[in-house]
Structure 1
Amino acid sequence: MSDVTTTDLYEVTMAMSYLREGMTAPATFSLFVRDLPPERGFLVAAGLESALDHLSGFRVGPSDVETFASALHRPPQDLEALLGLQFTGRVRAVPEGRVVFAGEPLLEVTAPLPQAQLVETYVLDLLSHQTTIASKAARCVLAAAGHPVVDFSLRRTHGPQAGFQAARLGALAGFAGTSNVAAATGLGIPAVGTMAHSYVEAFPSEDEAFRAFARSHPGPLTLLVDTYDTERGVRVAADVLRDLGRGPGCAVRLDSGDLADLAARARSILDAAGLPGVRIVASGGLDEYAVDDLVRSGAPIDTYAVGTRVGVSADAPYLDSAYKMVEYDGRPVMKLSSAKVTAPGPKQVYRRPGCTDVIALADERPPSSAVALLTTVMEDGRRTGGSSTLDECRARCAADLGALPAAARRIRAPLAPRAAASARLNALTARVRHSIEEQLAPHRTVPA
């Protein structure tokens, strides 16, 4: 059994039916977010690299067929048509790290219909989750206004894999480090961390705890000072650091209470002790809203450690994302369901200065001074180039965040740009809608 079986059952039943009916012509599916979550002025596209890894290795094997058969309560021979099916299609996508808005395709898949259908769930899951977390992390970076932000989310994310992704996506958005050792070493991200309250509690006093920690760690120290009384803890830490000559590069960490007030007191104590180079790290339930408040208050905090609320995007934990067919066998198609209407045809997104984006048909010429966001990243089931490095993704993110209108960058009450549809896309949408409505007309119930 492989990741192929990590899918919704109806993907399997539809793929089987398509194969039985001989419906294997190319289909194009578009993955997009219908509407941004509340308090979001933008999204950061993420998850593409994981999706391409999945598609590159997608192949239905014997154990997968047995798993599908078991779920359907049917003999494996009934599903033999799926055996050996692999992804041979084309993918056009927005590179990871780029800023996107509602309605814009993050990715389009064109492949034989059974293939394009069967990969839906896994690909949609990867892009939806990672775009959610990357967008939350990017807002933290904006809120911090140049102060370093680090990831402390691993122990509260929805599983270890999600924790690894959160560390990577934080780094993509501009975080300075992570507490996640596996992610730090695997991705080349700086590993950061301090100590737990239990460490301090294990010793008879804070003084003994801090000195013992210093004996084990010759490099810069970060001492957790709020196990008992925060102000007293800062004084003890200052005495230890001064006695050991360990001030420059070291830090104290505040994890609870009125962080703005405590940071001001801690700064005063450290400066009075002749330790102006000792930094203040703040943590404890922080997200972009709390960071924004602290920065605006002028709190002398040097580094912000964000965890739970960012690792799960607590205020907006999901996206209203969709993976919808827009063309089959050369025929543009669309959905007319109330509040869920889709636009037909393969598309391109053209970005003009000021993020005045235009969603156009894929073969349209770009407007003046516009650049295309979707690029071809896979042909015939194989990547068209190498994987994007984390540094490349981070650079794209930083550039796009810098180009956002000020109103979209706001942490509270942001105003998100909304892409416009091109004239050709509007015309195609009207024609396809009219055609569908004409087909439906004879079947509509006539009121008595």
Structure 2
Amino acid sequence: MSEAMTTDLYEVTMAMSYLREAMSGPATFSLFVRDLPPDRGFLVAAGLESSLDFLSGFRVGPKDVDAFASALHRPAGDLEALLGMEFAGEVRAVPEGRIVLAGEPLVEVTAPLPQAQMVETYILNQVSHQTAIASKAARCVLAAAGRSVVDFSLRRTHGPYAGFQAARLGAMVGFAGTSNVAAATAEGMPAVGTMAHSYVEAFETEEAAFRAFGRCHPGPLTFLVDTYDTEAGVRTAARVLHDLDRGPGSAIRLDSGDLGALAVRARAILDAAGLPDVRIVASGGLDEFGVDALVRADAPIDIYAVGTRVGVSADAPFLDSAYKMVEYDGRPVMKLSSAKVTAPGPKQVFRRPAFDDVIGLRGEPPPEKGIPLLETVMRNGQRTRRRPTLAESATRFAGDLAGLPAAARRIRAPQAPRAATSAQLGALTERVRRRIGAQSASAPGPESS
């Protein structure tokens, strides 16, 4: 079975029906986030590259058809129309690393209707998850206010692939490193790490553990100092670092307790020992809220290691995202369900200064000072450009972040900018709404059957 199997069953049942009814005209689906989660002033677009990888290799093979048939309790021959389906469409998207707002399309897929339908689940999964994680990580970088942030999330992310994505996305928004060796190797990121409490406990004394670690590792050392008594651990670490002449570049790590108060006392001990260059790393349940509190308290912490809460975006683990058809075979369509209305037609987002964005139609001219965000990244099922490097995506993010209003950057009670709707999109929306209303009014009722 291939990745084509990574889909919801109703995508298969709809695609089968479309093919039976000869409905293979071009359809455009728009992926967007309806509303931002609480305590979010912006989102960071992510997940596009893995989606394009999926689309490039999408093909329904014989084993996929057999599995679909088994799930539907039908003969494989009933699903023969799906055999050999490949994605041959176009994708327009906001590049990874760009900051986006609620309601703005992140991805638009245009392809024969059965194809565009079959790929919905996978693309929604990738873009929703990765955008949530990237946005959470970006807020940690903001909270750290210039101090280093590193990723320690792998052991508690929802699977190793999610951990890989968390490490990559952290680097994209400014993290200084990751504990994830696979991600560091694959993406060219610095690998970082210290020691566990179990390492210290394995030796007769804390000092014996530190000295053994120092004998094994010639580079800068980081000692975990809170296995027993934290202040005593800092003094022991200072003595060992001094004896081994390993001060510059080395660090101690605080992983529990009142991190702010402990950092103050640890800094005093290290300075008194003549080790002003030894840095302090803080970890243990931190995310942007904890980091922000410590920075505001002027805690002498040099590096923040964030893990579980960031790797799963604990306070906002999902996005209110949607993948909705906006045009079929040249006919604009929209959804009118209560609280879930969608706007019709393929779109473009125009970025203006101070994130005074405008959502318009794909073909309309940009407003004054408006820069289009969606780019054509796939045509005829093939990428139209090379995969951007992590550094390029990071540069894109940094540029957008610099222009984001201060109110949207706040860690607590941020105010997100709201995108406006262009006059052309507003007019099309009203025409389609009237057309649907007229069709509903003219539909025969039960008494006429």
Structure 2 length normalisation: TM-score?
0.99
Deviation at 1:59, TM superposition (A): 0.5
Is the alpha carbon distance of 1:444 and 1:38 closer, same or farther for their aligned partners in structure 2, counting shifts above 3 Å?
Answer: farther
Quote the residue 1:137 is aligned against: 137
1:237-291 per-position Cα deviation (integer Å, ceiling 9, x unaligned):
0000001111010000000000000000000000000000000000000000000
| 1:162 matches 2:165 | no
Describe the SS at the equivalent of 1:418: coil
2-side partners of 1:225 and 1:111: how far apart?
57
1-side partners of 2:190 and 2:142: how far apart?
20
Letter in 2 for 1:403: G
2-side partners of 1:388 and 1:17: how far apart?
38
Letter in 2 for 1:31: L
Quote the residue 1:213 is aligned against: 213
2-side partners of 1:398 and 1:304: how far apart?
19
1-side partners of 2:388 and 2:325: how far apart?
27
Deviation at 1:444, TM superposition (A): 8.8
Describe the SS at the equivalent of 2:92: strand
Quote the residue 1:149 is aligned against: 149
Quote the residue 1:24 is aligned against: 24
| 1:411 matches 2:411 | yes
Of the structure 1 ranges 437-446 and 270-279, higher mean CA displacement relative to structure 2 is found in 437-446
**Alignment RMSD, CA only?**
0.9
Describe the SS at the equivalent of 2:355: coil
Quote the residue 2:59 is aligned against: 59
Quote the residue 1:384 is aligned against: 384
Quote the residue 2:296 is aligned against: 296
| 1:12 matches 2:12 | yes
Letter in 2 for 1:330: G
Deviation at 1:370, TM superposition (A): 1.2
2-side partners of 1:316 and 1:249: how far apart?
35
Quote the residue 1:277 is aligned against: 277
Letter in 1 for 2:40: R
Correspondence list, 1:333-352, <5 A? 333-352=333-352
1:351-396 per-position Cα deviation (integer Å, ceiling 9, x unaligned):
0000000000000101111110000000000000100110011111
Quote the residue 2:77 is aligned against: 77
Quote the residue 1:50 is aligned against: 50
Of the structure 1 ranges 434-443 and 164-173, higher mean CA displacement relative to structure 2 is found in 434-443
Quote the residue 1:177 is aligned against: 177
1:383-441 per-position Cα deviation (integer Å, ceiling 9, x unaligned):
00100110011111111111100000000000000000000000000000000011111
Quote the residue 1:245 is aligned against: 245
Letter in 2 for 1:438: A
Quote the residue 1:420 is aligned against: 420
Q: Which runs of 5+ in 2 are unaligned?
A: none
Describe the SS at the equivalent of 1:66: helix
Describe the SS at the equivalent of 1:354: helix
Letter in 2 for 1:387: R
| 1:370 matches 2:370 | yes
Quote the residue 1:194 is aligned against: 194
Deviation at 1:223, TM superposition (A): 0.2
Letter in 2 for 1:354: A
1:307-350 per-position Cα deviation (integer Å, ceiling 9, x unaligned):
00000000000000000000000000000000000000000000
2-side partners of 1:248 and 1:172: how far apart?
28
2-side partners of 1:64 and 1:395: how far apart?
40
Describe the SS at the equivalent of 1:22: coil
2-side partners of 1:416 and 1:301: how far apart?
30
User: Identity rate of aligned residues, in percent?
Assistant: 76
Deviation at 1:442, TM superposition (A): 3.6
Deviation at 1:175, TM superposition (A): 0.2
1-side partners of 2:426 and 2:371: how far apart?
20
Deviation at 1:443, TM superposition (A): 4.6
Quote the residue 1:38 is aligned against: 38
1:124-147 per-position Cα deviation (integer Å, ceiling 9, x unaligned):
000000000000000000000000
Letter in 1 for 2:384: T
Describe the SS at the equivalent of 2:354: coil
Q: Which runs of 5+ in 1 are unaligned?
A: none
Is the alpha carbon distance of 1:444 and 1:400 closer, same or farther for their aligned partners in structure 2, counting shifts above 3 Å?
Answer: farther
Deviation at 1:149, TM superposition (A): 0.2
1-side partners of 2:192 and 2:176: how far apart?
9
2-side partners of 1:303 and 1:149: how far apart?
6
2-side partners of 1:403 and 1:63: how far apart?
50
2-side partners of 1:113 and 1:369: how far apart?
35
1-side partners of 2:370 and 2:88: how far apart?
31
Quote the residue 2:236 is aligned against: 236
2-side partners of 1:441 and 1:36: how far apart?
35
Describe the SS at the equivalent of 2:304: strand
Describe the SS at the equivalent of 1:305: strand
Letter in 2 for 1:99: I
2-side partners of 1:276 and 1:225: how far apart?
17
